[in-house]
A and B are shown apart, each in its own frame.
Chain A
Amino acid sequence: MQSLGIDVLFKGTNFIRLLGGLWVAVRISLISVALSILLGLVVGVLMTSRSKILRALFRIYLEIVRIMPQMVLLFVVYFGTTRVFGWNLAAETSAVIVFTFWGVAEMGDLVRGALISIPKIQYESAEALGLVPTQTYRYVILPQTVRRLIPLSINLVTRMIKTTSLVMMIGIVEVLKVAQQIIEANRRVSPNAAFGVFAVVFLLYFLICWPIGRLAAYLEKRWA
């Protein structure tokens, strides 16, 4: 039986290149998550606002994000903005825009959920103990909200990392694209490389997302 192409990975700098590709994917998701958390906190608070119009607007925004595949959004931003506005966005910038657009909606909804899940009695008890509103938020409400939010936002990180695999479709050279290049370059010497290389990519994604997911599950249980 012919080799299954694991050896191809250890030729030259192939494995380092693969990890470099993975880093591109992780970098895009980390930047997007950071932006999503910051903006999502604001959007989440606005989602609990008393203004019906504001709530309806954010509701529509959330539904659009929930329904449209991220791939479609990537295409619309990357190819559409060039045509309509004449912008020449770099692929990576488009990816960050799309993932942030998606992340802010998801994060906002999580913040909204966490805020309304704090029972009214918490506010009332704080007031009965003589805390002023800022103190109530700082010492009572925020610590509880953050505890509920952290595991959920960690889950969002893994979802983003998994979704970044789509960015190869708009020409970003991330881990899958590097894998394809390695396979193509070694087609003659190792025709079966596709098996080994794609299996390794599969495992790499698993090795990144699984521990993060476990951490989220652990925190969720511990802080519940």
Chain B
Amino acid sequence: MDIDVIISYLPLYKEALLLTAGIGWQGIALAFLLGLLCAVITHLRVPVLRGFVAVYVELFRNTPLLVQLFFLYFALPKIGIHISPTVCGTMGLGLLGGAYMAEALRSGLEAIPAIQSESAQSLGMTGMQTFRHIILPEALSSSVPGIVANVVFLLKETSVFSTISLMDLMFTAKDLIGMYAKTIECLTLLVVFYLIMLLPVSVLGSLVERRVRHAEFGD
């Protein structure tokens, strides 16, 4: 292993990490909002919309992100919809994640015992108040393990971005290997940079999980 080579590659990997993390977080934020919307629609049994949500969730949970990205990036332009790679990455991650987040949040909503909303009602809260102050916070806290697992999963999934010509970590590694054949250095940096991105998230995630455990209600 050549230290000089590693040092000279560092700035390139840093750029790539920032790009991956940037798109990653935007995609995850989008996924969370989309997932929450879908979970609430399913939970409140909104007619018609509920059907759309079910189809969307099943479609995106049962197909790989790579295929979804190919569809967004290569297929949609053929019917006149052109999307830039960055937007494509964010959208792809958001759509995939939305389906997973919807499942996690829905099971959180379902886990709340009926006595919670009954008690809120007997205290004189309206339906909206019950939902905002009782149901939603409880559902969020009980779906934290699922959400954390999804965040790590989605950040890992960003590794396919290179296929739609985004210069992420995989792209950088592949490119440098192709040009200078310093395979070992490139692969080591690749592993290290993914660790830099994912290890803190994973550790922080388990801390948050432990922190919100006090919020388990009922039983």
Q: Which B residues touch A80, using CB under 8 A? A: 183-184, 187
Whether A206 pairs with B199 at a CB distance below 8 angstroms is no
**Is there an interface contact between A67 and B202, defined as CB atoms closer than 8 Å?**
yes
- Asked whether A157 is an interface residue with its Cβ less than 8 Å from the other chain, the reply is no
Is the beta-carbon distance between B66 and A176 smaller than 8 angstroms?
yes
Let me know if B195 is at the binding interface, CB within 8 A. Answer: yes
Please state if A75 and B187 are interface contacts (CB–CB under 8 Å): yes
Segment with Cβ contacts to A, from B37-45, B86-94, B153-161: B153-161
Q: Size range of the interface on A?
A: 35 or more
Range class of the B interface residue count: 35 or more
Q: How far is the CB of B82 from chain A (nearest CB, A)?
A: 13
Q: Report whether over half of chain A's contact residues are helix, strand or loop; otherwise say mixed.
A: helix
Residues of chain B within 8 A (CB-CB) of A67 are 152, 156, 194-195, 198-199, 202
| A113 on interface, CB distance cutoff 8 Å | no
For A79, the closest partner residue in chain B by CB is: B183
**A104 at interface by CB-CB < 8 Å:** no
Which residues of chain B from 88 to 140 have a CB within 8 Å of any chain A CB?
none
Asked if A199 CB lies within 8 Å of chain B CBs, one says yes
* B211 within 8 Å of A (CB atoms): no
As a 0/1 sequence over residues 167 to 209 of chain B, the CB contacts with chain A under 8 angstroms (1 = contact) are 0001001100100000110010011001100110010000000
Of chain A, the residue at the smallest CB distance from B62 is: A209
Residues of B contacting A: mostly: helix
- For A209, the chain B residues whose CB sits under 8 A away are 62-63
- A72 touching B70, Cβ below 8 Å: no
- Give the interface segment out of A13-21, A133-141, A190-198: A190-198
In the complex, whether A45 has a CB less than 8 A from a CB of chain B is no
Report how far A76 CA is from B173 CA in the complex, Å: 11
The answer to whether A12 has its CB under 8 Å from any CB of chain B is no
Is B187 a contact of A205 with CB atoms below 8 Å?
Answer: no
Contact of A176 among B62, B67, B173, B183 (CB under 8 A): B67
Partner of A162 from B64, B77, B191 at Cβ < 8 Å: B64
Beta-carbon contact of B58 and A210 below 8 Å: yes
Instruction: Give chain B's interface residues, CB within 8 Å of chain A.
Output: 58-59, 61-64, 66-68, 70-71, 74-79, 152, 156-160, 162-163, 170, 173-174, 177, 183-184, 187, 190-191, 194-195, 198-199, 202
